[in-house]
């Protein structure tokens, strides 16, 4: 009897050991195998939302055929303590990566990133579309936040919207980032640059952050040549000091909701606080996102330049004049040259600002 019991116990132990060794072999095989290539483009990304449990993530991985067993994944993550570290975002399928490597990457939160370059002079509407597409977040969520005055005020954005305060640069942004986190990531560099490089000069010039960003955005749109930014800034600073209208064509286009281009005489009649041909002083806020060079130009305009007018030559450069008579003479000279070179389309403008 005792012998039969011991034989049975030995057989049971042997069976358990055999099963355990089989499980360990299967576990090592599953964890060590490469994650298979997804069947569709959509399945090449794993999306983890804020608040997702690891169980939900494991089921999603199984459904996308990244792993063979959701149960094994949950067991391994719990054993390693990785199931308590879930980082939301997008994770891209990586060729040759094993399931064990994938688990470690999820635990480290190595979210897939998109490289986004914002050129100087882009408007916020265009930037938000690019961000939404690159980060894989809803455009309407970004747009709502960008126009939420209370949210912007809490994060020290001068307003009236987010226009102008997204500093042009190249950014690496996590795909699937929360809309609030994404916008904060985009406005912080501009705030830091202003605080570190412009705040002292702004205080000395007695200009607020909104005034600086607004004027810089106008300079950005007027300056086709980088070296003329300080001169253009000087003209507008001079006109503001004398209480003259800025008469900047780009502000009219912004009021009309049109992209950069030609302005007709009829356009100057648009009723808008952004129309600097009808209103004295700066518009309510920026008309685009200016770069660092335009921001610096506003606070460091060309020294000693008394010009109040400038007119485009047609090659990207301008003629700057201190008096209206000089300005009119410059306009005539440019038009005479243009008549010789080509016919000027009727109704278009070639002079700015202050051509009557």
The series of mean pLDDT values per 10 residues for the chain, 356 residues long, is 56 50 53 80 80 86 83 79 78 84 84 90 96 92 94 94 95 87 92 95 96 98 96 98 96 95 92 97 97 98 96 92 94 87 54 47
Give the residue carrying structure tokens 């209370």. 150
d(CA 258, CA 249): 11
Give the residue carrying structure tokens 């986004």. 116
pTM of full prediction above 0.85: no
- Residue 241's pLDDT is 96
- Residue 345's pLDDT is 54
- Residue 79's pLDDT is 79
DSSP output for 118-165: --TT--HHHHHHHHHHHHT--HHHHHHHHT-HHHHHHTT--SSSSTT-
- Residue 93's pLDDT is 85
Domains and CATH numbers, the chain: 44-111 (3.30.1490.480), 113-191 (no CATH), 206-341 (no CATH)
Strands 113-117 and 89-92: unpaired
- Name the residue among 125, 184, 179, 189 with its Cα closest to residue 154: 184
d(CA 151, CA 144): 10
- Residue 88's pLDDT is 83
- Name the residue among 169, 32, 42, 46 with its Cα closest to residue 111: 46
**Residue 210 CB contacts under 8 Å (≥ 6 apart), including other chains:** 158, 159, 285
Phi-psi region of 286 (alpha: psi -120 to 50; beta: other; left: phi over 0): beta
∠ CA 47-128-219, rounded to 5°: 150
């Amino acid at each position: 009897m005792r012998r039969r019991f011991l034989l049975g116990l030995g057989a049971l132990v042997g069976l358990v050991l055999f099963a355990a060794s089989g499980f360990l072999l299967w576990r090592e095989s599953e964890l060590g195998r490469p994650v298979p290539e997804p069947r569709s483009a959509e399945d090449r990304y794993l999306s983890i939302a804020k608040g997702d449990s690891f169980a939900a993530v494991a089921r999603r991985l199984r459904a996308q055929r990244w792993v063979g067993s959701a149960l094994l994944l949950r067991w391994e993550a719990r054993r390693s303590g990785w199931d308590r570290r879930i980082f939301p975002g997008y994770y891209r399928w990586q060729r040759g990566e094993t399931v064990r490597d994938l688990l470690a990457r999820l635990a480290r939160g190595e979210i897939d990133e998109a490289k986004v370059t914002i050129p100087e002079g882009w408007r916020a509407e265009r930037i938000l579309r690019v961000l939404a597409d690159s980060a894989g977040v809803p455009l309407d969520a970004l747009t709502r936040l960008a126009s939420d005055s209370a949210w912007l005020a809490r994060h020290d954005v001068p307003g009236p919207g987010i226009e102008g305060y997204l500093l042009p640069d190249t950014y690496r942004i996590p795909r699937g980032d929360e809309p609030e986190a994404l916008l904060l990531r985009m406005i912080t560099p501009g705030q830091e640059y202003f605080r570190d490089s412009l705040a002292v000069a702004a205080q000395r010039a007695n200009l607020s952050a909104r005034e600086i960003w607004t004027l810089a955005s106008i300079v950005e749109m007027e300056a086709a040549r980088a070296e003329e930014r300080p001169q253009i800034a000087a003209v507008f600073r001079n006109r503001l000091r004398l209480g003259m209208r800025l008469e900047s064509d780009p502000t009219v286009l912004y009021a009309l909701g049109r992209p950069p281009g030609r302005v007709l005489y009829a356009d100057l009649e648009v009723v808008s606080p952004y129309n600097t041909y009808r209103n004295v002083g700066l518009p309510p806020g920026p008309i685009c996102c200016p770069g660092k060079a335009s921001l610096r130009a506003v606070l460091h305009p060309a020294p000693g330049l008394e010009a109040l007018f400038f007119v485009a030559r047609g090659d990207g450069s301008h003629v700057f004049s201190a008096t209206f008579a000089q300005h009119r003479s410059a306009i005539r000279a440019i038009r005479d040259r243009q008549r010789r070179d080509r016919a000027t389309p009727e109704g278009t403008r070639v002079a700015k600002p202050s051509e009557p």
